[in-house]
């Protein structure tokens, strides 16, 4: 899931606004850019912390890749979607440090966060890839119908809680799964409030036998949508697709008990 960032940042974040990585940092400094449709910016987030960020919106999305350079090794967070780009980033890492990548942490099972694993393993033999048990199972099975039923039984409010937890942290920078480094908590608050509003309105409006579209019509997200889009038609279309579309579909499944694989 990708949501539009507010106009003040000019870019976007994603489902992984639901699973964000918070890092203490100093001012971000952009450096190298790669050519081509899937190019990226290399950003120094803090001393010995670098991010490789998509330069532009692409129909085939790729995650941010974060490198933490330690005393004797490097930890990489996610490996992206495009093997050729991950290969190039591996070359960038060698120019940044002579220390090996020993650990890769995968945030979740969507392809755009781990499809570069093989390139990192090829560049750094012996690297250890770390993931939650559920994430590892999903990557190995690649079965969309595995992500349903009991695995899905989470209220949208539960999805907002990690954001609220990060909001309470004393951090200078927040690095999301997609989009630029954030310098305050406003975007987290906006996403959390939207998820909580959908949950609250849906539970008040739902009646047995309602279709997802009927539930959608009963939920008012106009003011929240404007907060994300600021009049920009593209950002508003993205908000509507993710929040009025996927998020309401998701809570309809929860309320009706008609669970479907993610993406259906």
Please compute the mean of the pLDDT values over residues 62-80 and round it to a whole number: 97
CB proximity list for 73: less than 8 A, separation 6 or greater: 99, 100, 101, 102, 103
Domain ranges (residues) in the chain: 2-150
pLDDT exceeds cutoff 50 at 243: yes
CA distance 91 to 86: 9
For the stretch 135-176, pLDDT in tens is: 898 888 865 555 544 455 566 668 889 899 999 999 889 999
87, two tokens: 């290969």
pLDDT exceeds cutoff 90 at 259: no
Strand runs labelled E in 78-219: 101-105, 128-130, 173-175
Instruction: Give the model's confidence band at 208: pLDDT under 50 very low, under 70 low, under 90 confident, else very high.
Output: very high
Q: How much of the chain is in helix, strand and coil states, percent to nearest 5?
A: 45, 20, 40
CA distance 65 to 227: 28
The pTM of the full predicted model, rounded to 2 decimals, is 0.75
- Note the CATH architecture for domain 2-150: 4-Layer Sandwich (3.60)
CA dihedral sign, ordered 149, 133, 263, 51: positive
Instruction: Give the model's confidence band at 40: pLDDT under 50 very low, under 70 low, under 90 confident, else very high.
Output: very high
**To 10 degrees, the CA torsion angle through 17, 50, 22, 187?**
-40
The H-assigned helical ranges of 77-185 are 83-96, 117-123, 133-141, 156-167
Provide the percentage of residues in the chain whose pLDDT is more than 70.
77
């Amino acid at each position: 899931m990708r949501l539009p960032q507010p106009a003040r940042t000019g870019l976007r974040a994603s489902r992984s606004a639901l699973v964000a990585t918070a890092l203490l940092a100093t001012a971000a400094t952009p450096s190298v850019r790669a050519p081509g449709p899937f190019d990226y910016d290399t950003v120094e987030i803090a001393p010995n912390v670098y991010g490789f960020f998509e330069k532009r919106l692409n129909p085939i999305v790729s995650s941010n890749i974060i490198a933490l350079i330690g005393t004797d090794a490097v930890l990489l967070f996610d490996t992206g979607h495009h093997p050729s780009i991950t290969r190039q980033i591996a070359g960038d890492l060698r120019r940044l440090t002579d220390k090996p990548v020993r650990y890769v942490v995968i945030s979740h099972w969507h392809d755009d966060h781990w499809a570069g694993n093989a390139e990192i393993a090829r560049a750094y033999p012996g690297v250890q890839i770390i993931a939650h048990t559920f994430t590892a199972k999903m990557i190995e099975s690649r079965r969309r119908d595995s992500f349903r039923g009991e695995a899905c039984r989470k209220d949208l409010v539960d999805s907002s809680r990690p954001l609220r937890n990060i909001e309470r942290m004393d951090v200078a920078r927040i690095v999301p799964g997609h989009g630029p480094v954030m310098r305050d908590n406003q975007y987290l608050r906006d996403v959390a409030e939207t998820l909580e509003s959908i949950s609250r309105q849906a539970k008040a409006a739902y009646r047995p036998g309602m279709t997802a579209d009927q539930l959608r019509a009963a939920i008012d997200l106009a003011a929240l949508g404007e907060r994300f889009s600021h009049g920009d038609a593209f950002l508003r279309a993205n908000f509507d697709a993710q929040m009025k579309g996927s998020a309401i579909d998701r809570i309809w499944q929860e309320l009706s008990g008609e669970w479907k694989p993610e993406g259906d």
